[in-house]
Amino acid sequence: MIEGILIGLTTALTFQNILMVMVGCFFGTIIGMLPGLGPMTAIALMIPITYGFDPATGLILMAGVYYGAVFGGSTSSILLNAPGVPGTVATSFDGYPMAQQGKAGKALAIAAWSSFAGGTLSAIYLLFMAPSLSKVSLSFRSPDYFALMILGLTAIAAFSSKGQFLKAMMMVVLGLMLASVGQDSLSDITRFTFNNMNLTDGISFVLVVMATFAMSEALTIILKRNDPTSAAKQVSLTELGSIKINKEERTKMYKTIPRSSVIGFLIGVLPGAGATIASFLAYGMERNVVSDEEKEKFGKGSVNGLSAPETANNAACSGSFVPMLTLGIPGSGTTAVMLGALLGFGVQPGPRLYMTNPEIFWSIIMSMYIGMVILLILNLPLIPYIARILAVPKNYLIPLILFFSVTGIYVMSFNNFDIYLMIGIAVVATFLRLYDFPMPPLILAFVLGGLMEENLRRSLLLSNGSWEFLWDRTLTACILATTILIVVWHIYKTFKKKN
Amino acid sequence: MNINTTKIISLLFFIFSAFYLYTAYQIQVFAFDENAPFNARTFPIYLGYAGLFFSGLKLILPDPNTIKVEHKSLEYKKTGILILIAIIYGATILKVGYFLTTSLFLFASYYFLGERRWILMFLLSFPFVAAFMYLLHGILDIYLRDPFLQSIGVMG
């Protein structure tokens, strides 16, 4: 492992990669602060830039954007009570009341240090867990992978949108259907192309991400007359107060951070769960374990109440890399985008990545830590100034998002058809968003579609067409039982609500 | 059964899944693959049934979280114009070239979204695109096709 860490450090500490982490963190912080524009949009917009880099650098840039976006979301939660990303909603419970008491600077400092500590601890957990899990996952067979993918898709559908399980499952199926367009990987038979040569190679992953996130979010902002930048204009540079944390507050944080980081990391590892669930769980658990006197302060500016979700959401970000790096199965929409980008680079994440491309594997892990340090440096002194940059009017912001989306497709294919297809998918996605159809399950399904078909093919061929492979191995049966439990539970809940 | 837009979307998805399933059954496979446990049409067929299953469930099950959208408050006109500009942008980018079409696309989008600060609009279109092109083409070595700049001798 020491050798791996050194490989990672050597790759991550090059001038270019440090610069990429800095650019990623800065850009991610800005996008994350804008309510409505989350890490997936930020990463999608970065994809065209990464074409010019090697895979390690490209992924380091995207990882920086990811942490930056989560950090940025916390800032708008604290200063404006307008969470930039869902994972920072719990931050606003105590962060905003603290800011209203004239302690905005202190709240930002607590959030920054908690995120830093949560991210650092989870990077250490990842350091130990990922290689071990990689070795374990080498024993996984096709039926296990197939069942695991079904579980991942079901779980993301269950957690991505409260009370909208069936809508999310429809999006999963739609994502898989889109992934099935083009040549069959084994027989080269074309499917669903309707004799259009442009569809022979299938629909590009970047196109789907740009359409369903970047472009569709831009259109939704215009359609709903939202102005994500208006809140940033309210930030006052002079009323932030001191950023110093006193001894009593530090003592509280020392207790909160370790337990919240463990919760955050473990929730992040689970497929489908992520920063949002992790931060709420950590907040809830913290409220249960503190003294009655401290419990009274929750919701009114509690240090524990702010530190817990901030630690957990950053820890969950690192945790979500575990299934992607070790199994090649992304656990969240954001890591699905990264997986798609990696596949675009010709790198297949999974248990063998650890052996075949150790420089990528380790440099991502090491760059996470470097990213945390950079975010701390960025967040504490610069946040008020970054917030002012956000006062860019939406009249400029929206065309720029569309411009990045179209450029991303243009440099990839030099093809009008792809641009029209992207606009078409974006219009449909905008309409579906209006009615609360979640997009992350669609992206995850689109990324996993090919792998899923491949594993199902192998499983069915090995079992001579029998579906017994689903319960032949204990591991496969357990994964499948969990999936069935999730589906039945959600359908039962729908019935129960009505009655 | 309460008919709302979500149910209509589910119905459309149901029809789409039925069409997908029909098309999946039409996929031509090799003769020796016809009776194989898995061929090119197996997975799409399962997907078609899954689509029918979930959209069918959404149609028949009660919808406790009905989403109501106030259509009057939505900005259809500006959104439509923006989509139209994007389509024109997509149609001309290959023939005219990246620099001119992108700059005009940005300028037109700023204008139709209500911006009237001409100098800022100009700076955030033509010089901005030129700088971005330099970043992609000049520094990151990502090829950008541009017949217009080639015709005036700016690009090789």
How many CA atoms within 13 Å lie on the side-chain side of A26?
Answer: 11
Q: How many residues does chain B have?
A: 156
Q: What is the DSSP string of A147-194?
A: HHHHHHHHHHHHHHSTT-HHHHHHHHHHHHHHHT-EE-TTT--EES-T
Q: Where are the beta strands (DSSP E) in A370-496?
A: none
* Window from A94-103, A163-172, A293-302, A329-338 with minimum mean pLDDT: A329-338
* Domain end marker among B19, B49, B69: B69
The pLDDT of residue A186 is: 81
> Chain B closest CA to A179's CA: distance in Å?
10
Lookup result for tokens 């830590």:
A369
Q: How far apart are CA A108 and CA A314, in angstroms?
A: 15
How much is the average pLDDT of A323-349?
Answer: 79
Query: Does A456 contact chain B (CB < 8 Å)?
Result: yes
User: For B78-114, what is each residue's pLDDT tens digit?
Assistant: 999 999 999 999 999 988 888 999 999 999 999 999 8
Residue A350 pLDDT > 80 = no
Among the partner-chain residues B23, B57, B91, the one whose CB lies closest to the CB of A166 is B57
In a domain, B132, yes or no: yes
List Cβ<8 Å contacts ≥24 apart for A157-162.
A157/A272, A157/A438, A157/A441, A158/A272, A158/A486, A158/A490, A159/A272, A159/A273, A159/A274, A159/A276, A159/A277, A160/A272, A160/A333, A160/A438, A160/A440, A160/A441, A161/A436, A161/A438
How many Cβ atoms from other residues are within 10 Å of residue A467's Cβ?
Answer: 11
- For residue B67, what is the DSSP state? -
| Record: contact A170-B51, CB cut-off 8 A | yes
What interhelical angle do A89-98 and A55-80 show, nearest 10? 50
Copy the structure tokens of residue B40: 């090119």
Contact A259, A289 (CB under 8 A): yes
In a domain, B156, yes or no: no
Residue A62 pLDDT > 90 = no
> Chain A closest CA to B40's CA: distance in Å?
6
Contact A352, A375 (CB under 8 A): no
How many Cβ atoms from other residues are within 10 Å of residue B33's Cβ?
Answer: 15
The pLDDT of residue A233 is: 60
| Record: contact B51-A164, CB cut-off 8 A | no
| Record: contact A177-B51, CB cut-off 8 A | yes
Distances (CA, A) of B52 to A69, A110, B22, B55: 37, 50, 12, 5
How much is the average pLDDT of A20-35?
Answer: 82
The pLDDT of residue B8 is: 92
Query: Does A407 contact chain B (CB < 8 Å)?
Result: yes
pTM of the model: 0.82
Distances (CA, A) of A145 to A221, A300, A329, B51: 38, 46, 9, 22
Does the CA dihedral A68-A69-A70-A76 come out positive or negative?
positive
Residue B1 pLDDT > 50 = no
Copy the structure tokens of residue A92: 């606003």
Residue A191 phi, psi dihedral angles, 5° rounding = -130, 135
Distances (CA, A) of A388 to A24, A237, A382: 18, 9, 10
Query: Does A487 contact chain B (CB < 8 Å)?
Result: no
The pLDDT of residue B37 is: 87
What is the ipTM for the molecules in this complex? 0.93
Residue A447 pLDDT > 60 = yes
Please indicate, yes or no, whether residues B61 and B89 belong to a single structural domain of this protein. no
Domain count of the fold of chain B: 2
Burial of A358 (0-12, 13-18, 19+ CB in 10 A): middle
User: For B9-37, what is each residue's pLDDT tens digit?
Assistant: 999 999 999 999 999 999 988 888 888 88
pLDDT category at A407 given cuts 50, 70, 90 is confident
| Record: contact B57-A436, CB cut-off 8 A | no
The pLDDT of residue A175 is: 95
Among the partner-chain residues A164, A406, A495, the one whose CB lies closest to the CB of B89 is A406
pLDDT category at A135 given cuts 50, 70, 90 is confident
Q: How far apart are CA B103 and CA B89, in angstroms?
A: 10
Q: What is the DSSP string of A352-367?
A: THHHH-HHHHHHHHHH
- For residue B31, what is the DSSP state? G
User: For A207-251, what is each residue's pLDDT tens digit?
Assistant: 898 899 889 988 998 998 877 666 556 655 556 677 788 888 999
Please indicate, yes or no, whether residues B91 and B113 belong to a single structural domain of this protein. yes
> Chain B closest CA to A404's CA: distance in Å?
10
Q: What residue type is A18 in one-letter code?
A: I
* Domain end marker among B69, B92, B113: B69
How much is the average pLDDT of A147-163?
Answer: 79
The residue among B62 and A61 whose pLDDT is bigger is: A61
| Record: contact B51-A174, CB cut-off 8 A | yes
The residue among A35 and A333 whose pLDDT is bigger is: A333
Which residues in A lie closer than 8 A to residue B124 (C-beta atoms)? 396, 400
Mean pLDDT of chain A: 83
Searching chain B, which residue's CA lies closest to the CA of residue A436? B67
Q: How far apart are CA B34 and CA B25, in angstroms?
A: 12
Q: How far apart are CA A183 and CA A200, in angstroms?
A: 6
Q: How far apart are CA A249 and CA A270, in angstroms?
A: 31
Among the partner-chain residues B13, B65, B74, the one whose CB lies closest to the CB of A163 is B65
In a domain, B137, yes or no: yes
pLDDT category at A366 given cuts 50, 70, 90 is confident
> Chain B closest CA to A367's CA: distance in Å?
21
Please indicate, yes or no, whether residues B85 and B140 belong to a single structural domain of this protein. yes
Lookup result for tokens 């440090």:
A18
Copy the structure tokens of residue A452: 């899923």
Please indicate, yes or no, whether residues B57 and B96 belong to a single structural domain of this protein. no
Contact A277, A266 (CB under 8 A): no
How many Cβ atoms from other residues are within 10 Å of residue A343's Cβ?
Answer: 16
Q: How far apart are CA A441 and CA A434, in angstroms?
A: 16
How much is the average pLDDT of B49-57?
Answer: 95
Please indicate, yes or no, whether residues B112 and B124 belong to a single structural domain of this protein. yes
pLDDT category at A58 given cuts 50, 70, 90 is confident
| Record: contact B64-A166, CB cut-off 8 A | no
The pLDDT of residue A390 is: 62
The residue among A353 and B112 whose pLDDT is bigger is: B112
Please indicate, yes or no, whether residues B135 and B106 belong to a single structural domain of this protein. yes
* Window from A332-336, A395-399, B22-26, B28-32 with minimum mean pLDDT: A332-336
The pLDDT of residue A384 is: 67
Spacing of C-alpha B12 from chain mean position? 19
Which residues in B lie closer than 8 A to residue A176 (C-beta atoms)? 47, 50
> Chain B closest CA to A314's CA: distance in Å?
31
In a domain, B55, yes or no: yes
* In chain A, where the domains are located: 2-228+241-498
Query: In sequence order, what are the beta bridge partners of A182?
Result: A191
Domain that residue B113 falls in: 73-151
In a domain, B146, yes or no: yes
Residue A388 pLDDT > 70 = no
| Record: contact B39-A187, CB cut-off 8 A | yes
The residue among A493 and A300 whose pLDDT is bigger is: A300
The pLDDT of residue A229 is: 65
| Record: contact A395-B113, CB cut-off 8 A | yes
Q: How far apart are CA A333 and CA A341, in angstroms?
A: 13
* Domain end marker among B15, B46, B69: B69
Query: Does A498 contact chain B (CB < 8 Å)?
Result: yes
pLDDT category at A72 given cuts 50, 70, 90 is confident
The pLDDT of residue A318 is: 81
> Chain A closest CA to B148's CA: distance in Å?
15
Copy the structure tokens of residue A396: 């400029």
| Record: contact B64-A184, CB cut-off 8 A | no
Among the partner-chain residues B5, B43, B76, the one whose CB lies closest to the CB of A435 is B5
Lookup result for tokens 């196109």:
A207
Smallest Cα–Cα separation from A396: which of B122, B79, B18, B130?
B122
How many Cβ atoms from other residues are within 10 Å of residue A391's Cβ?
Answer: 13
Q: What percentage of chain B carries pLDDT values higher than 90? A: 55
Contact A429, A73 (CB under 8 A): no
Please indicate, yes or no, whether residues B61 and B77 belong to a single structural domain of this protein. no
Distances (CA, A) of A358 to A10, A364, B102, B128: 12, 10, 40, 38
Q: How far apart are CA A401 and CA B73, in angstroms?
A: 23
